[in-house]
A and B are shown apart, each in its own frame.
Chain A
Amino acid sequence: MSDFSFWVILSNLLLATRWTIALSLVAFASGGLVGLALLFARVSRIGWLEWTTKAYVEFFQGTPLLMQLFLFFFGVALFGIEVSPWLAAWLALTFWTSAFLTEIWRGCVEAIPKGQWEAADTLAMSYMQQMWHVILPQAFRIAIPPTVGFSVQVVKGTALASIIGFVDLTKAGTMLNNATFRPFLVYSLVALIYFALCFPLSWFAHRLERTFNVAR
């Protein structure tokens, strides 16, 4: 009996993990795209554009992700628009991810020595040409390790989507616990699965970091 419920619990958790992975991938991809667009705005040297982007980043970095989820889930409903947990979670995680990635990438752009800008400047390149051909290719290299590292935060962030009813790994854990009353077993397994998702990512990020440090 106990063996049976262990396998039932595990298989149900693994099935729900698919949704955690899907939400993570989708949020990270769309967050990355929005983040790249915002990066250009953030370092555009156009005053109001930089300030607006900065305010956006500050807002999403300075408020709990859970509040952002609530805002999208309940807030949009106020306008009479039905929002599914999936859509709300996707939107909130996209905005949240984009804010953090913009900030990480801005740091990478600013880490490029001033002499690189000046050399491109004296070659009569325009700002966009300098960005595209000189700065971003170099910033991209140093951005890879922290970006991969941040993907761990996205995976863990998806757990909050369970609170608005999105059936991911965490939500499945809660439901299974209610059915089996074996919280320690259930949540141990949940934690283990998250770890199995996240550890390879952070290991990979550390390895990349070491590779790039050696390559310099």
Chain B
Amino acid sequence: MSLVSIQNVRKSFGEVEVLKGVSVEIARGAVVAIIGKSGSGKSTLLRCINGLETYDAGGISVDGIDVAAARADLRDLRRNVGMVFQQFNLFPHLTAAENVMLAPRVVNRESEIRAKELAREMLAKVGLADKAGNYPSQLSGGQQQRVAIARALAMRPNVLLCDEITSALDPELVNEVLRVIEALAKDGMTLILVTHEMRFARDVGTKLVFMHQGKVHEEGPPKQLFAGPTTPELVQFIGASLH
């Protein structure tokens, strides 16, 4: 059974239909890379999975929980679905460790001691054990994004959503973040990544989803799609991204 099941989802902003019947099945442990041109609906699709956006038709379920049905209180769902954003969205008034500890403390009601341990463990996992006491403004973009990943992981999610998490970074900082994601993939974490990192999508992904004009235009094993894209749109997209 799929961990995340997206069936024929439709979504409009006003008059504009942004998702025109999207279906994707995501197995436990899968690493799904969603690619496509800007405006093709990738972020919107991702944000529907944890209820940051509502959808108009179709269905999404995560670990058996129907997202639309959970609408009244999405907190149980969100405990299982972590998210990392392009702009990091760290809490600037809290240190790295406090950022990681906050949700375990107030949402899961962990003790201060347990939460501190958890923060140490998660920061170590993203290679930032020595930055626990730093505020976000004292960290590089790549470090901030790794703290954001640690913060999401501290809730022990079943699936992690990543929306272009390296797009705001200077090129030399991209790899340190991708390496963390790769390690998570090796650990068996289910990942859904909107990304422009084609090489990463091909090497680490277990499934590639190419979105075009609000639809899944092509999907399949990444290596296969990159080697032989069947639609002219994907041929063009891959060609354009390699330059």
Contacts and interface: CB of A to CB of B under 8 A. Distances in A.
Interface string B29-55: 000000000000000000000101000
Nearest to A129: B106
B189 to A, nearest CB: 16
Interface string A145-189: 000000000000000000000000000000000000000000000
B105 to A, nearest CB: 9
B89 interface: yes
B52 A133 contact: no
Chain A binding surface, main DSSP class: helix
The residue in B74, B87, B89, B90 that gathers the most chain A C-beta atoms within 10 A of its C-beta is: B89
Interface stretch (B61-69, B76-84, B114-122, B223-231): B76-84
Instruction: Give me the 8 closest cross-chain CB pairs, A-B, nearest first.
Output: A119-B89, A123-B103, A115-B89, A124-B78, A122-B83, A124-B75, A124-B79, A137-B93
B209 interface: no
Interface size class of A (residues with CB under 8 A): 10 to 19
Interface size class of B (residues with CB under 8 A): 20 to 34
Nearest to B104: A123
B103 A125 contact: yes
A72 B106 CA distance: 44
Nearest to A119: B89
Contacts of B85: 115, 118-119
Interface string A125-151: 110010001100110010000000000
A4 to B, nearest CB: 58
B9 interface: no
Contacts, number: 59
A118 B151 CA distance: 14
Interface of B: 50, 52, 74-76, 78-79, 81-83, 85, 87, 89-93, 102-103, 106-107, 148, 151-152, 155
A123 B102 contact: yes
Interface of A: 113, 115-116, 118-126, 129, 133-134, 137-138, 141
Contacts of A129: 106-107
A123 to B, nearest CB: 4
Contact of B155 (A118, A121, A123, A137): A123
Given A113-B89, A126-B107, A138-B91, 9 more contacts: A121-B78, A123-B151, A124-B74, A124-B76, A125-B102, A129-B107, A134-B91, A138-B92, A138-B93
A116 B89 contact: yes
A125 to B, nearest CB: 6
